[in-house]
Amino acid sequence: MNSVVFAKNAINPSAPVGVFDSGVGGLSVLKEIRQRLPSEQLFYIADEAYVPYGEKSPDFIIQRSLAITQFLIEQGIKALVIACNTATAAAAGEIRTHWPWLPVVAMEPAVKPATQATRSGIVGVLATTGTLKSAKFAALLDRFAGNVRVITQPCPGLVEEIEQGNLATAEVKQLLAHYALPLVEQGCDTLILGCTHYPFLKNALSELVGDQIQIIDTGEAVARRLEFVLTQQQLLNQQSVNFKHDRFYSSGDLTRFAQVLPILWGEVEAIFNFTSTEELS
Ligand code: DGL
């Protein structure tokens, strides 16, 4: 264990917002943030050396999430968005305990809006194994499911396809059919995308299940929540920002990252290596 100082940043409104995910999935959330908050500078970390998180242990995900947050704090962030349902379920509590001064916005599957939207009374959740097995998800169901039947479906393999930039290949369509069609056959009229990678498959999924099925994700709500938190803490950036100063980091293969970013995000000025293997206690 290296000696780590859980230092408090001198928070100021022109500091960047840090956002992370196991990989490129969190870019679906970053897009909503960029659209809603065009004046914020954004630092994004894809922990691609360790993607997918979905099948890994909570302890491992906690270690990665703390190391990433520590790094982002060293880069001077004023707020953190955990753009990953799996990391939220495993590590949001630990992050908040380590850095109580840091505004943290986290993800959770959209169970509440889905249970309000369903007419059949049956809702499906597509998410990672880690999210669906977590105590946080069980608590979410206890709180909001009510009389609605919620059917959960882990989707191993989808994240790996999206990491390659495959959004509508035959393999992707086959996996989607395998995971989503049984939910529709059981009467779901609403599908929750409980993993930030999956919004990139929304078109393929909606072609598959038809437009009678509502597909709900949480990216926009998270961007709204970030705006609320920054406003409340008087941390909204008032100056105009040059998007060229956004930063994109990956702990994985930078060549592949550079190939996939234009597909899922757009052109970026520069990408960086993120190598923290530091262990925190
Ligand atoms: N995008 C992440 C989520 O929202 C993690 C996917 C993974 O790495 O398995 O859960």
* Interval 101-128: pLDDT, tens: 999 999 999 999 999 999 999 999 999 9
Ligand 1 contact via 134 beta carbon (within 6 Å)? no
Q: Are 97 and 139 in a shared domain?
A: no
Domain boundary among 165, 199, 217: 217
Q: What is the pLDDT of residue 281?
A: 40
Residue 188 among the catalytic residues: no
Q: Are 193 and 225 in a shared domain?
A: no
Q: Of the residues 90, 92, 195, 205, which is catalytic?
A: 195
Residue 195 among the catalytic residues: yes
Average pLDDT over residues 216-230: 98
Tell me how many domains the chain contains: 2
Average pLDDT over residues 89-98: 98
Residue-wise pLDDT for 183-217, tens only, equals: 999 999 999 999 999 999 999 999 999 999 999 99
Amino acid code (one letter) for 35? Q
Nearest CA to ligand 1 atom 9: 54
Q: Are 236 and 196 in a shared domain?
A: no
Ligand 1 contact via 128 beta carbon (within 6 Å)? yes
Residue-wise pLDDT for 15-65, tens only, equals: 999 999 999 999 999 999 999 999 999 999 999 999 999 999 999 999 999
Note down the domain range covering 66. Answer: 2-107+221-280
Nearest CA to ligand 1 atom 2: 84
Residue 51 CA to ligand 1 center (angstroms) comes to 8
Q: Are 101 and 226 in a shared domain?
A: yes
Q: Are 226 and 102 in a shared domain?
A: yes
Q: What is the pLDDT of residue 1?
A: 39
Q: Are 271 and 145 in a shared domain?
A: no
Residue 114 CA to ligand 1 center (angstroms) comes to 20
Q: Of the residues 29, 84, 95, 102, which is catalytic?
A: 84
Q: What is the pLDDT of residue 245?
A: 85
- In this structure, what CATH number is given to the domain that contains residue 245? 3.40.50.1860
Looking from the CA of 95 toward its CB, the CA atoms found within 13 Å total 29
What is the distance, to the nearest Å, from the Cα of residue 51 to the centroid of all Cα atoms in its chain? 13
Index of the ligand 1 atom closest to the CA of residue 26: 1
Q: Are 59 and 185 in a shared domain?
A: no
Q: Are 79 and 60 in a shared domain?
A: yes
Domain boundary among 187, 217, 247: 217
Average of per-residue pLDDT values in the chain: 94
In this predicted structure, the answer to whether residue 232 has a pLDDT above a threshold of 60 is yes
Q: Are 81 and 100 in a shared domain?
A: yes
